[in-house]
Structure 1
Amino acid sequence: MIAAVNRLWGAAIAAVTAGAVAVSGGPAAAADGAIAGVDVSNWTGEVDWGAVTSGGGKFAFVQATEGVDYRNQRFEEQYGGALAAGLVRGAYHFAQPHESDGAAQAEFFLLNGGAWKADGWTLPGVLDLEDNPYKDRNGKNGCYGLSPADMVTWIKGFTDRYRQESGRRVIIYTTTSWWRTCTGDSAAFKANPLWLARWAADPGELPKGWKRHTFWQSAEKGALPGGQNTFNGTQDELEELANPPAEITVAGEARSRTRYTVTVSNTGPHPVTQIKVSGRAYGGQRVVKAPGCSFSGTAVRCEIAELGRGQKVTLSFTTRPGSAKGAVGLRFTVGAVRLTLSAS
C-alpha cells in the first residue's frame, strides 16, 4: 500500500510495502470470477466510484488515519462515496509504531473513521503494517526501531483495544517479508483476517501463522482506481465479513457432585436476545435450586433476555443426589451448543 501521507514534510513519498514486487508487463489483474476491490487514500484524490463498480469492484478500503495525529482530509468524501456506489467498505490505519503504543493508535483510529458499524456495509478496520517509509526523516529502520518482541507487543495493544471497543478482529495488512523481519515470524495473530500485499501474479508464501489470506493486494494500480485487490471468497462471505452472525460462547464447571455453574458469553459483535438454556440432571439426581430459572425433577430451563457485546451471565444450579452411586452431572443445550458437566 502506498504510504498515504507525507505527514508534515511536504512533497509526496512513493513508498511501497516492504517485499512488494512489481510485475513486469503491468499490474496483475483479478482472475476471472475473483471479487475485486480497491484501496484509496488522500493521495488518490477524487475517486470515480462509478468506474470502480462498472469495472467489477465490490469493496473498498479507505485510509482514515496515520500515527496519532493524521486524518485523511478526503476520508468522508471517499468513504461516503464508496457506500453511495454500493460498495462494502472499510477504513485503514497506517501504523507508526514509534510514535505511541498500539492501544493509543487504535483509539485514534476508532475516533476518526475506524469504528465498525453493524450496518451490513462496513468491514472490520485494518491495521496497515509495512516498511517505514520515513527512514530519512525519523531516523528509524524499516521496523520503526522496534525489536520483534516489542513489535508483537505493539500490535497486540492495537488489536486488543480495537476488539475491545468494536467487537471485531482487526484485519492485518502486511507483507511476508516485513512480518518475518519485524515480528520474528510471530504466529500470535492468526485469528485476525490477513490482507496480504504482494505485487505479483499470485499471493505466494503467507506470513507465519496464517493458512489463508482474506484479501490480496496484487498491484499499486491497474484497471480500477487505486490499489488493486481481490477477496479470497464468495460475495456471500464478503458480506458476512461485514456483518457476521451473532456468536455466543458457553462454558461450565462441576464444582462438586451437587453444585454446577454455566457461563454464557456474548463473544460476537451484536447484542443477542432470548438465549434459551435447557438442562437435565443424570445419575439419579434432581434439580433443587436454580435462581432465575424454572425447574422440575431432573429438568431445568432458563432464558437470558439479552446479552450485549462483551457481556456474560453465570447461572448456578444445585442438585440433590439419589441413592445411585457413580458419575452424576447435568447436560445442557444452549442454541446449537451442547455441554456436559460431570462429577464422579
Structure 2
Amino acid sequence: MKRVWLSAVILAAGMTGVAEAADGVPGVDVSNWTGDIDWESVALGGGKFAFVQATEGGDYRNPRFGTQFGGAAEAGLFRGAYHFAQPHESDGRTQADYFLQNGGDWIGDGQTLPGVLDVEDNPYKDKNGKNSCYGLSTKDMVTWIEDFTVRYRRATGRHVIIYTSTSWWRTCTGNSAAFRSNPLWLARWGSEPGSLPKNWKRHTFWQSAEKGTLAGGQNAFNGSESQLKALANPPAEVMVSGEATSRTSYRVVVTNTGPHPVKDIKVSGRAFGGQRVVEAPACKFSGTAVSCRIKELPRAKKVMFVFTTQPRKPKGTVGMNVTVGSVKLTLKAR
C-alpha cells in the first residue's frame, strides 16, 4: 500500500528533539475539581491550549465540561477533551464509546485537538481494592488500550493522545511499543521531562506541575504554535492500494483514512504489455487508457475500481500503471 496526502502535510507529532517546558507552548488541563475558570486570564497569561476532562470510566461525566470546554474556545484557546480510564470497570471499546458520546468526539473546526486517553496509577485503591494497574495483567492492559484507541480512530479519523507516566507505562503495559502512532502526553512533575516510555521517541505534550501560575495543571506543547494548530487541523489523508487479480483483471481501492471528507479525487490508468482496456465500470476508457473520478469520499469510506483488459498475447508480463494524486502504482501479472 502507498499513502497519499491530498494537502500539505505538517506532522505535529513528528518533531525531533525533546523541548523543555519553557521552550514549548504553554497550556493547562482542568476538571470539575478546578471549578470556575477565568479563561481570559489563562489566555492573557500565555496559555494557548486546554485539556478538559469529559468522562471517567463508563458512568461519570464532568458536570462543568460544557462550560469549561466552551469557555476555552471563546478565549481563543485550542481545546481537547480527555477520558480518565477505569480499565477494571468495562472494556476499552465501551469506554471509548462513552467518551465519544459525552464530549470526546473530535470536530474539524480548526480549534479542537484530538481526544485524550488518560491511563495512570489507580487512585481508588482503597475503594476498588485493585492495584496500580487496576488488577489487569500487562497483556490485558495493552489489549484494553488497543480497544480504546482503535475505536476512537475509527470513529474520528484521529489518533487519540495517550496521557501517562513512564513508570506506570513500564509497570502496567510491560513498556509496550504498540502505540507509536498515538501522540504522547507525558505526566512528570519537575523541571525536565526525563526518560520516556519505550513506545515513544519524543513527547507531544508534557504535564510538568499539578498547579502553577495558570489555572489547573501546567503543561507545554513540544513544538511551535503553528504545529499545535496543525495538530488541531490535520490534512486530508487517502490510502491507495491495488493488485492484479489475474492477467485480465486489476483492482484499485481508494480509502479515506483521514478526518475530513475528500472531494474530486482523480484516478487514471494505462495498460501495458500489449493489452487494452475493455471494461471499467463508472469510468471512461479508450484503448489502453482509463480515467475515473470520485466526486466526494466521506471519512472512513472507500471506493473500489475494477479494470478488465484484453491481452494480445497469451504469455508475458502485462499490467497497468495507475495514478491517484501523487501516488503511482504499477500492477503486474504474468
**Would you say 1:54 and 2:54 are equivalent positions?**
no
Residue in 2 aligned with 1:334? 324
Aligned amino acid, residue 21 of structure 2: A
| CA shift digits 1:284-329 (9 cap, x unpaired) | 2221111111111111100012211111111000112234953221
Match of 1:227 among 217, 220, 223: 217
Q: Which residue identity is paired with 1:262?
A: V
In the alignment, is the contact (CA less than 8 A) between 1:275 and 1:305 conserved in 2?
A: yes
Instruction: Report the counterpart of residue 188 of structure 2 in structure 1.
Output: 198
Q: Hey, what's the Cα distance between the residues in 2 that align with 1:233 and 1:280?
A: 44
Query: Mean Cα displacement is larger for which, 152-161 or 261-270?
Result: 152-161
- The one of 56, 62, 81 aligned to 2:71: 81
Separation (CA, whole Å) in 2 of partners of 1:213 and 1:292: 46
The letter for the 2-side match of 1:123 is L
Q: One-letter code of the match for 1:31?
A: A
Match of 1:282, as an amino acid?
F
Alignment partner, residue 283 of structure 1 = 273
Q: CA deviation at 1:107?
A: 1.1
Q: Secondary structure at the match of 1:31?
A: helix
In 2, are the aligned partners of 1:89 and 1:121 still within 8 Å (CA)?
yes
For residue 22 of structure 2, give the secondary structure of its aligned residue in structure 1: coil
State the TM-score, normalized to the length of structure 2. 0.91
Question: 1:58-100 CA deviation, whole Å, 9 max, x = no partner?
Answer: 1100001111111111111111110000001000000011111
What is the 5 A alignment of 1:1-344? 30-32=21-23, 34-323=24-313, 326-344=316-334
Q: How large is the Cα RMSD of the aligned pairs? A: 1.5
Partner SS, residue 52 of structure 1? helix
SS of the residue 2:168 aligns to: helix
What corresponds to 1:22 in structure 2? none
Cα deviation code 1:158-191 (max 9, x no counterpart): 1122122222111100011100100111111111
Give deviations 1:215-252, integer Å, cap 9, x for gaps. Answer: 11111112211111111122222112112111110001
Instruction: Write the distance in 2 (CA, Å) between the matches of 1:204 and 1:257.
Output: 56
Q: Deviations over 1:255-275 (max 9, x none)?
A: 112110000001011111211
Q: Is the 8 A contact 1:180 1:207 kept in 2?
A: yes
* Rounded Cα–Cα distance in structure 2 between residues aligned with 1:206 and 1:75: 30
Within 1, Cα distance between the matches of 2:144 and 2:252? 35
Aligned residue-pair number: 316
Contact 2:21/2:192 (8 A) holds in 1: no
C-alpha distance in 2, partners of 1:320/1:103?
48
Moved over 4 A (4+): none
Counterpart amino acid of 2:191? Answer: A
CA distance in 1, matches of 2:271, 2:225: 45
TM-score by length of 1: 0.89
Q: Using the alignment, how far apart are the partners of 2:319 and 2:208 within structure 1?
A: 55
The 1-side partners of 2:151 and 2:106 are apart by 13
* Cα distance, 1:132 vs structure 2: 0.3
Q: Provide the rounded CA distance (Å) in 2 between the counterparts of 1:337 and 1:228.
A: 43
- Residue 200 (structure 1) shift: 2.0
Where structure 1 has 5 or more consecutive residues not aligned to the other structure, the ranges are 1-28
Q: Is the 8 A contact 1:284 1:324 kept in 2?
A: no
User: Percent identical across equivalent pairs?
Assistant: 71
Residues 269, 321 of structure 2: 8 Å contact kept = yes
CA deviations 1:109-154 (Å, max 9, x no partner) are: 1111111111111111100000000111111000001111111111
Q: Greater relative contact order (Cα 8 A, min sep 6): structure 1 or 2?
A: 2
